[in-house]
Amino acid sequence: MGQIVVTVALTMVLLGCSGSSQSPAVAGFINQTRHSDADLQAIWKGAQQSLAQQIDLNPLQQLSKSVSAGMRPGDPRALSVEPYQLLVAAEPDVSPEVLFAATGEQRASPTGMIVCPQPCNVRYSTAYSFYQPELTKYASSWEFSGNNFDVILEYEFENHILNVLGYDMKWR
């Protein structure tokens, strides 16, 4: 009888130690930038603060269609959203020749633009984000371009936060 109790107890301990595919993901970034995790976390905090104050739901629509801003009051829930294994990485800028052939836009090298794959609503962008899997990619030339890197990533991090909170992302 004593052996059975020990066997059952040992089995329960071992089962308790096993991993579960339904355990929550580890918070943080999969950082493939040349910035520290602390830098990315500071940019994330800036995105949280911005969204807690005010939300612009249609900045892309404003650029393409002369419409007014879709401003909403801030959402304090943004302050509690954290990144979970969010991949952040650079992609090589598209060449001026490729950009011109595809869009007619002339830019010097580096162009500061990357291909934005489907389902993006633009062909080229400075950065883009996907939510399944969670990732943000940006044009590598922005990595150490003054504070532009922070501005670009803050916008993309805002998109991740808004997506988690259930906002319409059509014009973001």
C-alpha span between 67 and 59 (Å, rounded)? 9
CB 111 within 8 A of CB 94: yes
Condensed to tens digits (0 to 9), the pLDDT of residues 32-89 reads: 999 999 999 999 999 999 999 999 999 988 887 788 999 999 999 999 999 999 999 9
What is the pTM (predicted TM-score) of this model?
0.83
pLDDT of residue 92 exceeding 70, the answer is: yes
CA distances from 26 to 22, 48, 57, 135 (A): 12, 19, 29, 15
Q: Residue 10's pLDDT band (boundaries 50, 70, 90)? A: very low
C-alpha span between 162 and 170 (Å, rounded)? 11
